[in-house]
Amino acid sequence: MIALFGNITLALALVFAFLQAVLPLLGEAKHNRYLLAVARPAAIGQCVMILMSYLLLTFAFYQNDFSILYVAANSHPDLPLMYRLTAVWGAHEGSILLWILILSGWTMAYTITQRKSDLLPLTLAILGVISVCFIAFLFFASNPFLAATEILSGQDLNPLLQDPGFVFHPPMLYTGYVGFSVAFAMTYAALLRGQFNTNTAIRIRHFALLALGFLTLGIALGSWWAYRVLGWGGFWFWDPVENASLLPWLAGTAFIHVLRLVEKRGMVRAWAALLALISFALSLLGTFLVRSGILISVHSFASDPSRGVFLLALLALLTTLALLIYLTRLPTLSSPPSVFSPLSREMGLLINSVLLFVAMLTILLGTLYPLIIDAFHLGTLSVGAPYFNTVMAPLIFLMMIFMGFVPLCRWQQQSFSALWRTYWKNMLLSVVSALVFLTTFTHQLDFLSVATLSISIMIIVTTLPMLRFYPGMTVAHIGFALLVIGIMLSSLLNVGKEARIKPGDAIHVGPYQFFFLEVQGVIGSNFRGVRADFDVIKGTRHIVNLYPEKRIYPVRDMVMTKVDIHPGIFRDLYIALGEPYDNDYWSVRIYYKPFIRFIWIGGLLMMLGCLISIMERNRITGIG
């Protein structure tokens, strides 16, 4: 019964999406306000049907309805309730349904907040075109309500996904991905109407900032999840799926900075419109890479590449249509000549947007090149961390230099002498602070460490005085600086050891001593395993007991390492239990990770900065 109603709601959602897309476009062509007026009720109808579909699938997981193939493949009666409810997006079909649900949510948010905009019907029509494509893909190629052809007892959720990180990371990441669809639709509706102006740029920037904030949070949560679950102690591996989320983030960051130029100076509108298209296309590409099955990744759980062809066709279709609109409207995007100094804020924002774009292209090349080589049967090639670290380091360094420099600049023109008086003082303070810190805590003064820490401190010193005037920008930039500081210091000061020890032994890691006390059996609702007990001491002071586990999930016959972490603002203690050996010996991995929390604190501050920027602009402009 659930499968029947689920298919009915999906079919009705497709009908509403078709009406939302087609009738307003006809109304725009024929200047018929009645057809334009269909957009809003059709969007509401589509949202209601998609929400009902999602709730029906969630209820099927709740009651273990294994007559539905998707539920049987991703759940089990012993699976904890929290993971049963979130297993809805644990595989391909449900994640696409979640993607569409979030798109409907963004569409409703746009409809409510921009109900007085004359671009509303046309923007909803463009969003309707996107909805038609994805709902059709879901209904015909990835239907989560297909009935099982035999009696099944449930195959359980992938153990990698049975973690709180899975509860929060995919929804936040998808919310960021899909949010750029709204910014894209608003931009291209404005292009079609010839209204891509300052007021429109302000409204678009609100949605782009919100999308970027959610995407930032999603990426940070994904990094935190991988750090906790995979057991190797790292926060970023330059995995293709990780890169897929970073691509729209880089393009979206460039987009919001260029929109600031459109808003403030009415310039580079063509560049802004192109970045809107690229950010949207990269969000679709990220969905394709994660859910097509063409990638080998610990983050990718799709297994049917044939459906990836459908996703790739959607990406090509939507991007081609948008590019045609862009090219036809390009002559209308020429801006009046703008005169500004090379030391102006305009120049700084433009250069930084280009650097972000180049960084995006660099990662895109490294991610797709092995796939292209393989597709043309030219051999196999692996592009990993050495490539990305080598090519990204100088780009990030240049971007940070401009982040520390641009806030000191004024709009249009700037006196070099006035700028230099402030700049050299800030730089001197930053270099001295970096030297003192590194000498005190690391006893290492290599050029790269000094330069990176100096520029990071420079960003903080330069932007802090602007907290009163630009609080959102200030918080976001300080967050980025803290993220870079966390990456650098955690890499520089990290201490890790792998050892074979037995109960009664101890091992020193950094300033801490880890005493291996015992191993006990542990039984969970859908797993069994062993739990080790480590007593952690610093000097003569007891710090904490850590309990890493080794689990086996019988239904999937998978063995998982459950790490235990004692977090702190300035350091983490991290322990993973490895394999057992003879005579009660166990392999263990223990890490002392100073300042690694700065990475996620920085990510949260960047997301907070986006939200503050939206509220700040709403207060100034009075836009609801």
**pLDDT digit string (tens) for 263-279?**
988 889 999 999 999 99
Cβ neighbours, 10 Å, residue 347: 16
Domains of the chain by residue range: 1-152, 495-594
Cα dihedral angle (467, 470, 473, 479), rounded to 10 degrees?
Answer: 10
* DSSP H or E run through 64: none
pLDDT digits (tens, 9 = 90+) for 330-368: 988 877 666 667 778 888 899 999 999 999 999 999 988
The pLDDT, as a whole number, for residue 53 is 98
**Helix-then-strand count for the chain, H and E:** 18, 10
**Tokens 């589509």 -> residue:** 46
What is the phi-psi region of residue 81: left when phi exceeds 0, alpha when psi lies from -120 to 50, beta otherwise?
Answer: alpha
Residue 464: alpha-carbon gap to chain centroid? 26
The pLDDT, as a whole number, for residue 315 is 87
> Which amino acid is residue 32, in one-letter code?
N
Q: Mean pLDDT, to the nearest integer, of 179-198?
A: 94
Confidence check: pLDDT of 292 > 70? no
Cα 301 from Cα 125, distance rounded (Å): 32
Q: What is the DSSP letter of 296?
A: -
The pLDDT, as a whole number, for residue 624 is 37
**Tokens 């960051």 -> residue:** 253
Q: Look up residue 141 and give its two tokens.
A: 């190629």
pLDDT digits (tens, 9 = 90+) for 361-405: 999 999 888 877 877 777 777 788 889 999 999 999 999 998 988
Burial zone of 582 (CB within 10 Å; 0-12 exposed, 13-18 middle, 19+ buried): exposed
Cα 325 from Cα 336, distance rounded (Å): 22
List b or e across 136-150, with b for residues whose CB sees 16 or more CB atoms inside 10 angstroms. bbbbebbbbbeebee
The pLDDT, as a whole number, for residue 623 is 43
% of the chain beyond a pLDDT of 90: 74
pLDDT digits (tens, 9 = 90+) for 306-331: 677 788 888 899 999 999 999 999 98
Confidence check: pLDDT of 542 > 60? yes
Residue 503 and residue 517 in contact, taking contact as beta carbons nearer than 8 Å: yes
Q: Mean pLDDT, to the nearest integer, of 158-177?
A: 93
Cα 413 from Cα 30, distance rounded (Å): 47
**Helix, strand, coil content of the chain in percent (nearest 5):** 65, 10, 20
Task: Indicate the pLDDT class of residue 297, thresholds 50, 70 and 90.
Answer: low
pTM of the model: 0.94
pLDDT digits (tens, 9 = 90+) for 204-256: 999 999 999 999 999 999 999 999 998 888 899 888 888 999 999 999 999 99
In angstroms, what is the C-alpha Rg of the chain?
Answer: 26
Confidence check: pLDDT of 304 > 70? no
**Can you say whether the dihedral through the CA atoms of 28, 30, 32, 38 is positive or negative?**
negative
Question: The sheet that has 495-501: what strands, in order across it?
Answer: 495-501, 586-594, 571-580, 564-566
Task: Indicate the pLDDT class of residue 294, thresholds 50, 70 and 90.
Answer: low
Confidence check: pLDDT of 478 > 90? yes
Residue 224 and residue 167 in contact, taking contact as beta carbons nearer than 8 Å: no
pLDDT digits (tens, 9 = 90+) for 396-433: 999 999 898 888 888 876 677 777 888 888 999 999 99
Q: Mean pLDDT, to the nearest integer, of 91-104?
A: 95
pLDDT digits (tens, 9 = 90+) for 548-580: 999 999 999 999 999 999 999 999 999 999 999
pLDDT digits (tens, 9 = 90+) for 11-69: 999 999 999 999 999 999 999 999 999 999 999 999 999 999 999 999 999 999 999 99
Helix residue ranges per DSSP H, 142-239: 164-193, 198-229
Cα 342 from Cα 581, distance rounded (Å): 66
Cβ neighbours, 10 Å, residue 518: 11
pLDDT digits (tens, 9 = 90+) for 174-186: 999 999 999 999 9
